[in-house]
């Protein structure tokens, strides 16, 4: 009885608004009131769906981290060929599309919370490990296919993501487009080198 629940819909709507706000003004300046105003609802409605602001931040973190899994979404036209798939994933990672798909600014905002919030810390640790094991699986597939020669796939996947995270830590500070492009290519070659793949 009663009316049907809008919980899921509203929660997603609120999180997206909160994200957009954090993106524009920084997480430290994203308030419940501003979030509510952005989608023309009452601030108390936000509290109604997310008991506290803390829970909204948790939802934001999940919203952001989920996006990073998209780098493994590859069009299914790559049928059968594991190496093709791996190279496409690496293209996804080391491309100018990165900055349009993901918003590192809000991610670093949430990341900085991990030092004082174990819940967020676990979410991040979990994502980073998931990304690593996904890449490892791709490498293993290539090994089985015979298209790749790698001693320790888990180790290699780990190192590659260390390179990725370190690369974007620096690249986020680079404003010069040419320097950005040049460095990005360079870091990609380093990743390929870890896979014993020659660079063209």
List of residues contacting its own copies (CB under 8 A): 25-28, 104-105, 108-109, 111-116, 121, 124-125, 128, 155, 158-159, 161-167, 169-170, 172-175, 183, 186-187, 190
The residue among 28 and 77 lying less far from DNA, judged by its C-beta, is 28
Q: Which of 6/162 has CB closer to its own copies?
A: 162
Q: How far is the CB of 75 from its own copies (least distance, A)?
A: 28
Three-state SS for the chain is: CCCCCCHHHHHHHHHHHHHHHHHHHCHHHCCHHHHHHHCCCCHHHHHHHCCCHHHHHHHHHHHHHHHHHHHHCCCCCCCCCHHHHHHHHHHHHCCCHHHHHCCHHHHHHHHHHHHCCHHHHHHHHHHHHHHHHHHHHHHHHHHHHCCCCCCCHHHHHHHHHHHHHHHHHHHCCCCCHHHHHHHHHHHHHHHHHHCCCCCC
Please give the residue ranges that form the binding site for DNA (CB under 7 A): 1-7, 10, 29, 31-34, 40-48, 51-54
Give the nearer residue to its own copies in terms of CB position, either 83 or 153.
Answer: 153
Binding site partner of 43, from its own copies, DNA, none, Cβ cut-off 5-8 A by kind: DNA
Cβ distance to DNA smaller for residue 51 or 151: 51
Q: How far is the CB of 144 from its own copies (least distance, A)?
A: 25
Nearest to 106 by CA among 142, 158, 155, 65: 65
The item of its own copies, DNA, none sharing an interface with residue 10, based on CB under 5 to 8 Å by kind, is DNA
Contacted entry of its own copies, DNA, none for residue 169, CB cut-off 5 to 8 Å set by kind: its own copies
């Amino acid at each position: 009885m009663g009316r049907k629940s809008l919980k899921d819909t509203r929660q997603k709507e609120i999180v997206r608004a909160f994200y957009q706000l954090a993106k524009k003004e920084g997480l430290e300046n994203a308030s419940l009131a501003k979030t509510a105003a952005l989608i023309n609802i009452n601030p108390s409605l936000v509290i109604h769906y997310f008991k506290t602001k803390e829970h909204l931040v948790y939802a934001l973190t999940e919203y952001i981290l989920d996006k990073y899994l998209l780098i493994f979404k590859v069009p299914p036209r790559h049928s059968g060929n594991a190496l093709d798939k791996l190279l496409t994933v690496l293209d996804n990672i080391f491309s100018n599309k990165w900055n349009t798909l993901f918003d590192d600014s809000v991610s670093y905002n949430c990341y900085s919370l991990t030092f004082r919030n174990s819940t967020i810390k676990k979410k991040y640790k979990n994502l980073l490990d998931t990304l690593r094991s996904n890449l490892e699986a791709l490498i293993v597939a290539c090994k089985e296919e015979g298209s790749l020669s790698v001693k320790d796939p888990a180790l290699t996947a780990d190192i590659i993501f260390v390179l990725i995270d370190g690369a974007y830590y620096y690249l986020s500070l680079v404003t010069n487009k040419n320097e950005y492009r040049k460095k990005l290519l360079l870091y990609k070659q380093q990743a390929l080198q870890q896979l014993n793949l020659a660079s063209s």
